[in-house]
Amino acid sequence: MKKFQPRTFIKLFLLVFLALIASTIIFNLIIDPFELHNVIVIEKLNKKKSELSDKGRLYQAIQIVDKKPQAIILGSSRAKLGIDPADLSNILNGIKTCNVAFEGATFDEIYEYFLHALHNQPNLKCVVIGLDVFAFNKKLDFRSGFSKQRLQIDNRWHSDIFDSLATYNALSASIKTVKNNYLNLPSSNPILAFGEVNWLKQIFRSQEWYSDYKICDKKIQKFSNLVRICQDKHIDLKVFFNPCKAIYWEFFHHFDMWPVVVELKERLSDIYPIWDFSGFNLITTEALKIEGPPLYIDCSHYSPQVGKYLLNIMFKEGNKSNEVYLLTPSSRNSVNDNILEAREKWVEKNQQFVRKRL
Is 274:220 a contact under the CB 8 Å cutoff? no
pLDDT at 142: 81
pLDDT band of residue 245 (cuts 50, 70, 90) is very high
Which domains are delineated in the chain?
Answer: 74-146+196-355 (3.40.50)
CB 210 within 8 A of CB 257: yes
What is the number of other CB atoms lying within 10 angstroms of the CB of residue 13?
Answer: 10
| pLDDT for 220 | 98
Instruction: Compute the distance between CA of residue 254 and CA of residue 28 in angstroms, rounded to an integer.
Output: 47
The pLDDT value recorded for residue 244 is 97
Residue 275 parent element (H or E)? strand 274-276
Task: Report the pLDDT value the prediction gives residue 101, as an integer from 0 to 100.
Answer: 98
CA neighbours within 13 Å on the CB side: how many for 37?
21
pLDDT given at position 158: 67
Distance CA 168, CA 39 (A): 20
Phi, psi of 6 (to 5 degrees): -55, -35
- Identify the band that residue 124 occupies on the pLDDT scale cut at 50, 70 and 90: very high
pLDDT at residue 353 is higher than 80: no
Average pLDDT for the chain: 88
198-231 residue pLDDT tens: 999 999 998 788 988 999 999 999 999 999 999 9
Q: Which residues in 160-179 are b (16+ Cβ under 10 Å) and which e?
A: beebbbeeeebbebbebbbe
Question: 123, 70 in Cβ contact below 8 A?
Answer: yes
**Residue 322 reports pLDDT greater than 60:** no
How confident is residue 138, by pLDDT bands cut at 50, 70 and 90? very high
